[in-house]
Amino acid sequence: MSAALHSLAALAAGLIFGLGLALSGMLDPARVRGFLDVAGAWDPSLVFVLGGAVTVSRLGYLLSRRLRGPVLDSRFDLPARHRIDAPLILGAALFGIGWGVSGFCPGPAVAALSTAAAPVLVFVVAMLVGMALHGLLPAAPMERSRSIGTAGGSGNRRARGSAST
C-alpha cells in the first residue's frame, strides 16, 4: 500500500479516537481521577468507555482471525513477548502513578492538546522527556513482534519460522 493511504488511514483512526475521547469526557482529568477514587466519590463512567473500547477491539480481533491478511498492510504484527517480568511491572506501576496523579493517559493527553491548557502542555512535555530518558537507558535487545503474513491462509496467527509462544 502507498504511504499516502497509510497516512490517510492513520489520520482517520486518530480522528475517530480523539472524537471518541472528547465525546466521552475522557479529556477531563477530573473525570479520570473520579474513576480512580474508588474509596470516595467514584465516577464509574470510565468503565463504560473502557468496556466499549475492549468490545470494539475484540470484535476487530475476531474479524482479523477470519482474514487472509490485513487490508492496508502485507502482514499482521503481533507482540512476541508474553512474559510478565520486572520491567513490565515497573512500567505499569509508573504509568499508573502518572495516570492517577495527573488524570491524563497518553492518548487523551495528546487529544487534549487541542485545548492548549497549561496542565496538558506540561504533562505532554514531561511524557516526552520520560520517553527520551527511557531511550537513554541500557536495555536488553527487544524481541521483534511476530509478523503474520498471508501465507497459510485464514487463521494463521503464528509467525513464519518461529515457534508458538
Kindly indicate the confidence band of residue 152, based on its pLDDT and cuts at 50, 70 and 90: very low
Helix (H) or strand (E) holding 147: strand 146-148
What residue segments make up the domains of the chain, in order of their start? 3-66+82-142
Nearest CA among 83, 121, 80, 91 for reference residue 104: 121
Kindly indicate the confidence band of residue 158, based on its pLDDT and cuts at 50, 70 and 90: very low
Residue 69 has pLDDT above 90, yes or no: no
* Ramachandran class of 37: left when φ > 0, alpha when ψ lies in -120 to 50, beta otherwise: beta
Distances 93 to 40, 70, 89, 106, 153 between C-alpha atoms, Å = 22, 33, 6, 15, 40
pLDDT of 149 reads: 52
Kindly indicate the confidence band of residue 156, based on its pLDDT and cuts at 50, 70 and 90: very low
Which tens digits make up the pLDDT trace of 76-103?
Answer: 877 788 889 988 899 899 988 888 888 8
Residue 148 has pLDDT above 80, yes or no: no
Q: Whole-structure pTM over 0.85, yes or no?
A: no
Distances 16 to 11, 21, 36, 65, 137 between C-alpha atoms, Å = 9, 9, 25, 23, 34
Kindly indicate the confidence band of residue 160, based on its pLDDT and cuts at 50, 70 and 90: very low
Kindly indicate the confidence band of residue 151, based on its pLDDT and cuts at 50, 70 and 90: very low
Instruction: Please count the other Cβ atoms lying within 10 Å of the Cβ belonging to residue 13.
Output: 10
